[in-house]
Homo-oligomer: A and B are copies of this chain.
């Protein structure tokens, strides 16, 4: 990417699809990104910007003058333009908006007035809505005559005099119906209307559940104000479903393009939180130091008991967090699922406790030590099963995202219970002390 290679680079990049150009930016070094953007300046159309990774886009947008950003934003669909502008700070945002055509500016300002991650931010204001009295023929004529229509639409919304949606008509039905038929006779009256304030995760679940291609967005008074199409939702489904693994492991945003400082801040917080829970475990072990001095094997075995419990808790927790995210675990079936997970935990606990108990009894030639570790493992796996369901469910009922904090609590419970059950039983059984 030397200065004199610009023409070669341009020739190489030119035939690529915008989504592939966007990918290219992710593959190269951070410092090279603005250089590449400069080299292929006139290929950097709005389609490329719409496809860029959030962090990469932020970096490039910051390196561009307000005027250039405004030009790109004007070509984008409202939702993509909003995604580009929402990360700018207040002053830069105003500078860009000031450079835009009044109409585009109004659309973006109105979108920015809705909360982040709401349907209002996600929706496009370009959609096709027609009155109830139209026939199929009227609609086709209207579409052929209109030049200022949405780029992409898959369904037409039929609205009443108050601009409330009364039905939806897939384009395929319109194409298959004779011109004289009224739209109200072919439209589907059962609609999934999305309120502007709905959270994008909930929007994505609706699209998925009802297999929607597009949906009408309505304001508080029920007026049609926008449409959301499935291609905008696909990214959200992917992100929301994929983010659980990152949140549960404390990796924050977890994007490989995130600036290192942001990754450090989000991850170190998590490690410090876990340090505190580990401290609790260490305190429990310390309080049994008399027993460990008498039987040093306890020191080698107690981390195993804690670790097996942690693994079992993580399994159950992952299942519960996914089930909550996909609405499969609700108030109506919490007890059934808790009971289900308890039964799985008892089966797992029985098997693993037997294995570890027998092995320990043989290796240390001490049936009592085997019985103690077996009982502690069984106790800890059953505890893990309970905690793995109850912790995420409780966080969810408290309005918290269960993926964010569950694993700190579950690990704390399984660690403490592992050390306490094993060392406590060792003392109580008369094995030591």
Quick one: copies of this chain in the complex? 2
Contact B210 A19 (CB under 8 A): yes
Q: Chain B's nearest CB lies how many Å from the CB of A183? A: 13
Interface residues on A, range: 35 or more
CA distance A139 to B292 in the complex (A): 84
- Among A282-338, those with CB < 8 Å from B are 282-283, 285-286, 289, 292-293, 296-304, 306-308, 311-312, 314-319, 321-323, 325-330, 332-333, 336-337
Q: Chain B's nearest CB lies how many Å from the CB of A6? A: 21
Stretch at the interface among A101-109, A111-119, A215-223, A270-278: A270-278
Q: Chain B's nearest CB lies how many Å from the CB of A153? A: 5
Q: Of B298, B318, B343, which one neighbours A246 at CB under 8 angstroms? A: B318
Q: Of B143, B175, B230, which one neighbours A230 at CB under 8 angstroms? A: B230
Contact B178 A144 (CB under 8 A): yes
Contact A149 B176 (CB under 8 A): yes
Q: Chain B's nearest CB lies how many Å from the CB of A370? A: 14
Known pairs A172-B153, A190-B17, A245-B321; A271 contacts B234 (CB<8 A):
no
**Contacts of A297 on B, CB cut-off 8 Å?**
286, 289
Known pairs A143-B175, A230-B234; A278 contacts B304 (CB<8 A):
yes
Contact B289 A299 (CB under 8 A): yes
CA distance A267 to B318 in the complex (A): 12
**Contacts of A318 on B, CB cut-off 8 Å?**
245-246, 248-249, 251, 254
**Contacts of A275 on B, CB cut-off 8 Å?**
304, 308, 352, 355-356
CA distance A311 to B235 in the complex (A): 28
Q: Chain B's nearest CB lies how many Å from the CB of A81? A: 16
Contact B274 A29 (CB under 8 A): no
Stretch at the interface among A37-45, A88-96, A236-244, A424-432: A236-244
Known pairs A153-B172, A318-B245, A318-B249; A340 contacts B307 (CB<8 A):
no
**Contacts of A154 on B, CB cut-off 8 Å?**
154, 170-172, 213
CA distance A143 to B419 in the complex (A): 71
**Is A281 interfacial (CB-CB < 8 Å)?**
yes
**Closest residue of B by beta carbon distance from A256:** B323
Contact A256 B329 (CB under 8 A): yes
Contact A175 B172 (CB under 8 A): no
Among A23, A154, A419, chain B packs the most CB atoms within 10 A around the CB of: A154
**Is A11 interfacial (CB-CB < 8 Å)?**
no
**Contacts of A337 on B, CB cut-off 8 Å?**
256
**Is A279 interfacial (CB-CB < 8 Å)?**
yes
**Closest residue of B by beta carbon distance from A271:** B352
**Contacts of A328 on B, CB cut-off 8 Å?**
26, 53, 255-257
Add 13 more A-B contacts to A250-B311, A250-B315, A256-B319 (CB < 8 A).
Answer: A19-B209, A19-B211, A152-B172, A171-B175, A234-B234, A256-B328, A256-B329, A256-B340, A264-B348, A274-B307, A275-B352, A289-B297, A292-B296
Shortest 6 CB-CB distances between A and B: which pairs? A241-B241, A299-B299, A245-B245, A171-B171, A249-B318, A211-B231
| 15 residue pairs bridging A and B, Cβ less than 8 Å apart | A27-B330, A53-B328, A143-B176, A150-B172, A152-B170, A154-B213, A207-B234, A212-B231, A267-B312, A267-B315, A268-B348, A268-B351, A271-B312, A272-B352, A272-B355
